Amino acid sequence: MKVVDFGAFVNFFGAKDGLVHICQLTDQRVGKVTDVVKEGDKVRVKLLGFDERGKVRLSMKVVDQETGKEKAEEDAPAAE
């Protein structure tokens, strides 16, 4: 994992890398990425899809970090 100001690059499926944008780290507002993750941390992510340039989009906030299960919609905060 490599931490940058706008998110964290994580390795998944062996040789694949993708970005977890700062807004996808947690349900709470994040001041600094390092408040949530540090280089070398192991995290669970969900593949959200690909951006217009074909880059991988990942999310940590939709996955329970302890169990690895996707959070149910009722567990997710309401959209503002």
Q: Which pLDDT does position 73 carry in this prediction?
A: 65
| Domain 2-75 grouped into CATH 2.40.128.20 | no
Give, for all 80 residues of the chain, the pLDDT tens digit.
799 999 999 998 777 889 999 999 999 999 999 999 999 999 999 999 998 998 899 999 999 999 999 998 655 555 44
Each domain of the chain, given as residue ranges in start order, spans 2-75
Q: Which pLDDT does position 15 carry in this prediction?
A: 79
Q: Which pLDDT does position 77 carry in this prediction?
A: 55
**Of residues 50, 35, 40, the one with CA closest to residue 5:** 35
**Residue 2, CA distances (Å) to 6, 25, 63, 73, 77 in order:** 11, 14, 20, 29, 28
